[in-house]
Structure 1
Amino acid sequence: MCNNNTEWLLKSNCEFDTLGMATSKYPDKKVLSFISDEKYFNSIINNKDIVGIICTEEIYKRYDELKNYGVIIAKDPKRAFFEIHNMLAKTEFYWKKFKNKISETSDVSNDAIIGEHSIEIGDNCIIEPGVVIHPGTIIGDNVIIRSGSQIGTSGFQFIKVKNDVIPVTTAGRVIIRDNVEIQHNCCIDRGVLGGDTVLDYNVKLDNFVHIAHDDYIGERTFITAGVKLSGRVVVGKDCWLGVNATVSNGINIGDNCRISLGSVVTKDVPSGTTVTGNFAIEHSKFIEFIKSIR
């Protein structure tokens, strides 16, 4: 198998139902992943969700363990991985299109823009004027979305391969569960590699919040104005994120955490912790530091 840029050779077969990174977990999924750098070999082997691997001929010959997987040989595994994803994203591989399902009990403004397919809006929702809802958006009951917000937008994902930049097609969905409220001018991206961006029950977003691709926001979490979450962030239950906080990609924030206003979070935050500052550290340590320099 080949295309204009990358040669791919199928070494052994497997059945997979999604593509994913070696360092992420995909419960109940059969994952095709890739390895370009041998330092990630243990991540591949220890990830029980992975059933197929794209790698170089050299890596395949070096590790006998790879013979237990479906394998595609590629000169550039990373490029091949995302090119395969982009091809599959044009099909219904990740999810099936369906006719819009909008409850008659919901108040959807005539001045809202609703995509042509694959949108579900549950009972007793309010969709205000100027809201844009893109295909691949599932909204539960009693959800309020205020004017100017965009739901189900394309994720910001580009891959640099040598001198080329490959745009990665957004192929996932947005799931908004019951009793969520989204204030004005928020943006919520769909998942990229067929996964979902999820706002769980009773999540509340203030104005100008950005939720990036593949994020998960736990139940009863409040996110205040101007917060920016990068991709693949997990926020637990009953958290509070202060005004203009920023969270780096792939960060895990536990349950019952507080992220102080203006904080820049670059490391995981254990449950029950308050962090403050740029870069964010445990709040009491931040206060001690401030006292020490005054």
Structure 2
Amino acid sequence: MLTRQIIRKAIRAALEEDAPYGDITCAMTIPVEARGKVRLVARENGVMSGISIFADVFREQNPGIVIVPAITDGDAFTVGRTLAEISGPVRDLLTAERVALNFVQHMSGIATMTAAFVHAVAQAESVHNRHRPRTYAHTRIADTRKTIPGLRSFDKYAVTCGGGFNHRYGLSDAVMIKDNHVAALHDQGIDMAEAIRHIRERVGHTMHIEVEVDRLDQIGAALAGGADTIMLDNFSVEDIRKGVERIDGRAIVEASGNMTIERVPAVAAAGVDVISVGALTHSVRSIDLGLDWD
């Protein structure tokens, strides 16, 4: 979903936002003919995402800038490592610097946090009485729609760089009946099972239907309606285990709600197929990367 058109549009908008009338400081202080070389250096450990977008920002500023990446997306890096070398006109290097860093720092922050959650899932192997996921070999960590407006494709791509998976990109991609939908249907005298069956009759055969439940007693209706995925929202670990047993492989089981790295091993061990984590994109901290001049 992160296409060249989306990337170019976002980069141009970001450069225009930062220097709508040019870079006044550079114009007043840096000779036009001055050339320089900088290195992208890690100030802390992390997982890379967006190195090609970092390069694209400089190329958009000036196609003559030369960028030599020393890492690929999805790779882990340690503090002090040189991640790329960039050379060209000093004015253009300085003008594009902040925008380039904003993209790569934010995306690498998402990839790094995702990788930490993926690693936490692996700890489920050491949890007593664990249950293996019923659909996938390992429980998947997935993102949500809680992304920065206008940058969803960047955020979701960064999740995959950290070893996670993407939930639906938007409201047009899948049917997802959430708690407010259930409440609205109830007000109209329509129960969950009836609503799911009605939707199934109206959508194409490739359309996925997911239902969010917040109580164990709602699972029966979701199954009766034929939901493809049942999301257990804000369940305790014990209730997640009970939910997995009730569903018994008849639907993909997703757990969501206040997911932390500390909770993930036990939730994965309860047997869910997917754990969706809004914090991957709405509470991420950018990784500290900097440009050092040679």
* TM-score relative to the length of structure 1: 0.24
Q: With CA pairs under 8 Å and 6+ residues apart, which has the higher RCO, 1 or 2?
A: 2
The structure with the largest helix share of the pair is: 2
Greater strand fraction, Structure 1 or Structure 2: 1
TM-score, structure 2 as length reference: 0.24
Tell which structure's C-alpha radius of gyration is larger: 2
